[in-house]
């Protein structure tokens, strides 16, 4: 027995054992050796255990040694960690073979040797090199369920179990795919060991923190992690019957309430973890509001309210500022003005809508109407509702115009919103429209004879300009990277009063100066009589 000894700076070998029965070499430290740090030849029933060998040509050289037990040794930084030569048989287990420049274990004409539960890492050419080996790495006593060796860089996963590693799910501590080893196609490690897997940790964040009904909520699971592997599966349960997958997901709740959101994550070892969060989805609530301008309307609770807000040459009667979504502050404007030519029929409303859209398109040609146009009765009067979008941006505006022939007026509602928040904001504006009431009494007389044709046309033009000005103002204010300022009064397609509106036959169409807003009947190409600037030609003019 040679035990607890230190051998340094050796020439041929640090420790040599020859022609011996049942030798024991244990707990020794050996550095250097041109033949081997520990050299055994022609011994039987040897036990070589708990030794540390480094900087030798061969850490352990064992040849011609039947029934050897070689376990719990460290062969680090040698040429070859361990060499098992001809006629050697026995057990090679729980050894650490790390950083050897050529091979961790070389087996030549040896066997049977059961090789299992060794740690093999960062060796030069091969972890194991098996040449004419007859060992039982994957069939004898160290087959399943005892397993094979631990391999550095093994990329397999442990999701299954059983001798064929095909009973899934159910990890067992062994990789599901074998490790192939060089040596003339002799062997493979069928049950490579995997360190016991630590479970992953599921975590997520949601935005916004206080969503409203129909508002998309973003769920982000990227803060989840696995301490010893990587995550392969993310499963979401949103608590309302909806579900999703992937590291991130989005979901909108159709009704207010409290919902328990669950995230399950699985790592590459098929270990799961779950986390839950309670999410409260709010209801869009309203409070009553009455305007001195002659209307009542429910307005969203918690929004900032401003009255009689100056906007260019106009004054907006009601401005509501809501939550910021996507860098856009959601807002709703409500305004009213006189227009003696309004008609409560579809043809008039369609023309009104198209004129508004064309006016906005003069400032931004990318503007398009999107979705269906809705003609309906609001507060007992005809109305048109439509939505416009701004090119490839995420800006959306919903416009609803209510007209009353009896009052000779219109009421305009303009919603400006980030596109992804539209569904929730639409609930808000539809709630306002559903509760809208006109409290202004109709005038005693609204006959065409009370005004001349010039005034009638000017009022109609002024009414359209008022709506278009509000839409354009919001587009300028909310749309990013616009390079033009809004003019004092936006240019409009010239408006001709409809027949039967009380106009004088032969009356000239009225246009508005794009610089000062002064109405004029001068032809295109002339100059404004008020400011002297040219009157540009508008689309559709001849």
Of 15-29, 72-86, 340-354, 467-481, the least confident: 467-481
pLDDT at 541 over 60: no
pLDDT at 93 over 50: yes
pLDDT at 404 over 90: yes
Coil/strand/helix, residue 322: strand
pLDDT at 65: 92
Select from 248, 255, 213, 223 the least CA-distant residue to 234.
248
Tokens 């409009």 sit on residue: 492
Q: 368-392 pLDDT, tens per residue?
A: 999 999 999 999 999 999 999 988 7
Residues of the chain with pLDDT > 70, as a percent, come to 75
Coil/strand/helix, residue 470: helix
Alpha-carbon Rg of the chain, whole angstroms? 43
CA distances from 442 to 340, 343, 446 (A): 12, 15, 9
Of 58-67, 158-167, 176-185, 531-540, the least confident: 531-540
Select from 541, 534, 401 the least CA-distant residue to 467.
401
pLDDT at 301 over 90: yes
Cα–Cα distance between 115 and 172 in angstroms, integer? 19
Of 273-282, 337-346, 444-453, the least confident: 444-453
Cα four-point dihedral sign 24, 26, 29, 35: positive
Q: What does the block give as tokens for 394?
A: 């995420």
- Top-ranked range on mean pLDDT: pick from 2-6, 126-130, 142-146, 457-461: 2-6
The length of the chain is 542
84-110 average pLDDT score? 86
Residues of the chain with pLDDT > 90, as a percent, come to 42
Pick the CATH number of 286-481 from 3.40.50.80, 3.30.1180.20, 3.40.1000.10, 3.20.20.150: 3.40.1000.10
Q: How confident is the model at residue 533 (pLDDT cuts 50, 70, 90)?
A: low
pLDDT at 177: 83
439-459 average pLDDT score? 48
Residue 129 or residue 62, greater confidence: 62
pLDDT at 135: 52
Residue 163 or residue 400, greater confidence: 400
CA distances from 151 to 80, 109, 158, 188, 407 (A): 17, 23, 14, 12, 87
pLDDT at 477 over 90: no
Phi, psi of 337 (to 5 degrees): -160, 165
Residue 459 or residue 68, greater confidence: 68
Of 68-72, 120-124, 533-537, the least confident: 533-537
pLDDT at 481 over 50: no
Select from 149, 130, 144 the least CA-distant residue to 187.
130
| Domain ranges across the chain | 2-189, 205-281, 286-481
Residue 81 or residue 503, greater confidence: 81
Tokens 């001068």 sit on residue: 522
Phi, psi of 171 (to 5 degrees): -65, 150
Q: What angle do CA 58, 61, 65 make, to 5 degrees?
A: 170
Q: Does domain 205-281 have CATH number 3.30.60.50?
A: no
pLDDT at 542: 35
Q: How confident is the model at residue 509 (pLDDT cuts 50, 70, 90)?
A: very low
pLDDT at 172 over 70: yes
Do 205-281 and 286-481 show the same overall fold?
Answer: no
Select from 456, 333, 461, 457 the least CA-distant residue to 401.
333
Contact 70, 116 (CB under 8 A): no
pLDDT at 504: 34
pLDDT at 424 over 80: yes
List the strands of the sheet with 103-108, edge to edge.
Answer: 13-18, 36-41, 58-63, 80-84, 103-108, 126-131
Cα–Cα distance between 23 and 17 in angstroms, integer? 8
Q: How confident is the model at residue 505 (pLDDT cuts 50, 70, 90)?
A: very low
Q: 323-348 pLDDT, tens per residue?
A: 888 878 899 999 888 888 889 999 99
Contact 47, 91 (CB under 8 A): no
pLDDT at 343: 92
162-183 average pLDDT score? 77
- DSSP state string for 243-262: EEESSEEEEE-SS-EEEEEE
pLDDT at 274: 97
What is the rounded (10 degree) CA torsion for 503, 508, 512, 514? Answer: 160
Average pLDDT of the chain, as a whole number: 78
Q: 510-523 pLDDT, tens per residue?
A: 444 555 444 444 44
């Amino acid at each position: 027995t040679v035990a607890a000894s230190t051998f340094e700076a050796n020439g041929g070998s640090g420790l040599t054992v020859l022609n011996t029965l049942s030798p024991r070499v244990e707990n020794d430290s050996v550095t250097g050796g041109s033949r081997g740090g520990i050299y055994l030849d022609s011994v039987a029933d040897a036990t070589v255990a708990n030794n540390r060998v480094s900087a030798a040509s061969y850490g352990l050289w064992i040849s011609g040694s039947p029934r050897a037990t070689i376990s719990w040794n460290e062969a680090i930084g040698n040429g070859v960690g361990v060499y098992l030569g001809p006629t050697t048989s026995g057990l090679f287990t729980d050894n650490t073979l790390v950083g050897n420049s050529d091979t961790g274990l070389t087996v030549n004409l040896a066997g049977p040797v059961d090789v299992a539960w060794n740690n093999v890492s960062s060796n030069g050419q091969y972890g194991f090199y098996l040449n004419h080996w007859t060992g039982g790495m994957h069939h004898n006593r160290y087959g399943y369920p005892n397993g094979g060796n631990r391999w550095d860089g093994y990329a397999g996963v442990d999701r299954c179990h059983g001798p064929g590693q095909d009973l899934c799910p159910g990890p067992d501590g062994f990789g599901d795919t074998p490790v192939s080893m060089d040596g003339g196609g002799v062997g493979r490690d069928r049950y490579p060991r995997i360190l016991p897997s630590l479970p992953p940790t599921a975590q997520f964040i949601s935005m916004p923190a206080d969503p409203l009904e129909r508002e998309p909520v973003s769920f982000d699971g990227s803060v989840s992690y696995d301490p010893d592997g990587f995550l392969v599966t993310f499963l979401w349960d949103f608590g309302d019957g909806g579900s999703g997958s992937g590291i991130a997901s989005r979901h909108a709740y159709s009704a207010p309430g409290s919902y328990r959101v669950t995230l399950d994550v699985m790592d590459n070892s098929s270990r799961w973890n779950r986390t839950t969060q309670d999410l409260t989805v709010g209801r869009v609530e309203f409070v009553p509001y009455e305007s001195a301008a002659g209307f009542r309307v429910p307005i969203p609770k918690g929004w900032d309210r401003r009255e009689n807000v100056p906007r260019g040459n106009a004054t907006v009667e009601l401005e509501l500022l809501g939550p910021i979504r996507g860098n856009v502050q959601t807002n709703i404007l409500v305004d009213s003005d006189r227009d003696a030519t309004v008609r409560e029929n579809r043809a008039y409303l369609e023309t009104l809508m198209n004129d508004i859209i064309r006016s906005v398109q003069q400032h931004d040609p990318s503007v398009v109407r999107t979705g269906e146009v809705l003609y309906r009765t609001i507060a007992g009067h005809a109305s048109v509702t439509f939505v416009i979008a701004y090119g490839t941006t995420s800006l959306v505006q919903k416009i609803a115009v209510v007209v009353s022939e009896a009052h000779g007026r219109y009421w305009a509602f303009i919603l400006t919103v980030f596109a992804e928040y539209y569904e929730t904001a639409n609930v808000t504006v539809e709630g306002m429209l559903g509760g809208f009431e006109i409290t202004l009494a109709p005038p005693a007389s609204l006959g065409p004879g009370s005004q001349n044709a010039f005034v009638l046309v000017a009022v109609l033009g002024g009414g359209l300009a008022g709506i278009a000005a509000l839409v354009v103002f919001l587009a300028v204010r909310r749309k990013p990277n616009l390079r033009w300022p809004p003019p004092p009064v936006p240019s409009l397609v010239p408006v001709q009063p409809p027949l039967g509106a009380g106009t004088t036959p032969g009356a000239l169409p009225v246009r508005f100066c794009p610089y000062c807003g002064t109405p004029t009947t001068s032809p295109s190409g002339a100059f404004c009589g008020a400011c002297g600037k040219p009157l540009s030609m508008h689309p559709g003019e001849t």
